[in-house]
Structure formats: structure tokens, C-alpha cells
Amino acid sequence: MSEIIAYGAPDADWVCAACDRPLAPAPATLTYLGSDFAVTLMRCPDCGLTLISEELALGKMLRVEKLLEDK
């Protein structure tokens, strides 16, 4: 499992609607502009649907996108 815990506490409020299962931390790879990052995100253990919360998308991910885009 990756050291980088990208998800936050509120992620636990979501469940997978199709499988009706709570989510669990799982390894995932985020990629942008040719760089890959091994992170841990919340995922449905059955179907693998992976959650990216608003907090993550507009917080850390946005900062990383800017960082990688900046020369």
C-alpha cells in the first residue's frame, strides 16, 4: 500500500451504489503529464469503483497539476 494516503475522512460517507458496499483503502495510480504517482484511495472492494472527493480534486490534485504544469 502506498505511503501516500490521498483520501480524507469524509470519503467514508460514500458507499458503492451498485454493490451496496462500503469503500476500503486500496492502491491506485494517478497520472498526469507523463508522471505517475502511487497513492492510496478509497475503492469498492467488489467492483473497483474508485472515489476522488471534491476535497482531493480541488485541493491536493489541483496543486499537483499546477506544479507539474509549471516550468
Partner 1 sequence: MDQQELRDLEARCIQEEPPRCQAACPIGLDARTLCAAVAAGDTSRAWAVLLRHMPLPGVLARICDHPCESQCLRNQAGDPIRIGALERAVAGVAATRARVLPMPKRAGKTAVLGSGLACLAVAWDLCAKGFAVTLLTGAKTLGGRLGEYPESLLPRAAVTAEIERLASLGVTFETGLDRGRLDPKRLLASFDAVCLGGDDPASSHLPPEAFDPETMAASEPGLFCCGIGMGGGAYSPIGAVAQGRKAALSIDRFLQKVSLTAGRAGQGRATRLYTNIEGVAALPALAMADPEAGYSSAEAAAEAARCLQCQCLECVKACPFLEHYKAYPKIYARQIYNNAAIVKGQHTANVLINSCMLCGLCTELCPEDFPMAATCLDARRDLVAKGKMPPSAHEFALMDMEFAQSEACFLARGAPLSPGEGKCRRLFFPGCQLSATKPEAVTAAYAALREIFPGEAGIMLSCCGAPARWAGREDLFDASMARLRSFWEDSGRPEIIAACPACLNMVEAGLPGAKATSLWEVLDHSDLSFPKRSSEAALAVHDPCTVRERTQVRESARRLLSRLGASCEELRFSGKRTKCCGFGGLLSEADPDLAATVGSRRAAESRADFVTYCAMCRDRLAKSGKRVLHLADLLFPGPDLDPAALPPVGVSRRRENRARLKRTVLREIFGQSPPEPGAGLILHLAPEVAAVLEKRRILEDDVRAVIAHAESSGKKFRHRQTGRFLACHGPANATFWVEYSPADDGFAVHNAYAHRMALKEGRS
Partner 2 sequence: MTVGILHGSAPRPYESGHMRRLLGPALRPGGLALTRQALALCRLPGGARVLDLGCGPGVSLGYLRQTAGCRAVGLDPSPVLLAEAAGLGPVLTGRAEALPFADGCLDAVLCECVLSLTRDKDAALLECARVLTPGGWLIISDVYRKDGPETAAPPASPPYPADGCLRGAEPLEEVFARLTRAGLCRSFFETRDKDIKELAARIVLSDGSLEAFWDSVSPGGSACGGGYSAPGRVGYYLLIAQKDAAR
Q: Which residues, 6 or more positions from 27, have their beta carbon under 8 angstroms from its beta carbon?
A: 1, 2, 38, 39, 40
Residue 21 binds which of partner 2, partner 1, none (CB < 5-8 A, kind-dependent): none
* Cβ atoms of residues 12 and 18 within 8 Å: no
Q: What is the 8-class DSSP label of residue 5?
A: B
Residue 34: CB minimum distance to partner 1, A: 7
Rule CB under 8 A: choose which of 11, 19, 37, 52 binds partner 2: 37
In the complex, the residues that contact partner 2 under the rule CB under 8 A are 3-6, 30, 34-35, 37, 39, 59-61, 63-64, 67-68, 70-71
